[in-house]
Chain A
């Protein structure tokens, strides 16, 4: 059974720091992995989608990498800002035959201090 873990569970950093959020999954047979951001009480905003054949994706100050063989993905945030404060969730889509299920990690709550 696929399990997705995110470390750390919470993180507080001063503005301007570069930081790394981690996502681990137990079964390397995935179709893709998606990173989301969630503000308190709000829906999820898609940040980056990495297909299993890709190693990384970039969008602005965000860079996500994927190492399927080791069951890990990292989300790198450059020059963090207070507006980056949110919960970050990763989700994996298990491979094999048209699955619609995403399995979510437990999330990392990020606070960027001004």
Chain B
């Protein structure tokens, strides 16, 4: 298995909702990442987990809450989002630091 799987592919949520994005890989990678991408912009790093511990938080608002329950799974919990949080959310993994990334296909999030 050489893929990163993200679910759901599309999500529409209200500003008072709570939802979660899920990311899964079975390549034995020990680093997992959340990126946010707005239209026609490069991806922006949000969080990095290495060996199931949060190692980087790029000053992301607390309405985004990451979780890494095990080495194969990464979640992003969403609560009280704003319309400007609408974006493509990308998950990636790598064997360790300084290795190439494998990206998932993303979750298109719309906040109404």
**A101 & B48 in contact (Cβ 8 Å cutoff):** yes
Looking at B12-20, B69-77, B78-86, B93-101, the stretch in contact with chain A turns out to be B93-101
Dominant SS among interface residues on chain B: strand
Alpha-carbon distance A41/B106, docked complex (angstroms): 8
In the complex, A34→B103 CA distance in Å?
12
Contacts of A34 in B (CB 8 A): 100-101
| Interface assignment of A28: CB less than 8 Å from any CB of chain B | no
Please determine whether B100 and A104 come into contact, CB atoms closer than 8 angstroms. Answer: no
Contact A100 B50 (CB under 8 A): yes
A98 CA to B56 CA, complexed, in Å:
12
In the bound complex, what is the Cα–Cα distance between A32 and B96 (angstroms)?
Answer: 13
Q: State in angstroms the CA–CA spacing of A42 and B42 once bound together.
A: 13
A19 within 8 A of B: no
Residue interface bits A44-66, CB-to-B below 8 A is 1, else 0: 11100100000000000000000
Q: Contacts of B6 on A, CB cut-off 8 Å?
A: 43
Q: Is B62 an interface residue (CB 8 A)?
A: no
**A-B residue pair count with CB separations less than 8 angstroms:** 60
**How many residues of chain B have a CB within 8 Å of chain A?**
29
Asked whether any CB of chain B lies closer than 8 Å to the CB of A89, the reply is: yes
Interface residues of chain A, those whose CB is within 8 Å of chain B, are 31-32, 34, 36, 41-46, 49, 89, 91, 93, 95, 98-102, 104-107
20 extra A-B contacts, CB within 8 A, seeds A41-B108, A43-B6, A43-B105: A31-B98, A32-B98, A32-B100, A34-B101, A36-B103, A42-B106, A43-B4, A43-B90, A43-B103, A44-B43, A44-B92, A46-B101, A49-B100, A91-B101, A95-B98, A98-B96, A100-B48, A100-B50, A104-B43, A106-B42
What 6 A-B pairs have minimum CB-CB distances, sorted nearest first?
A104-B42, A49-B100, A98-B97, A43-B105, A44-B103, A31-B98
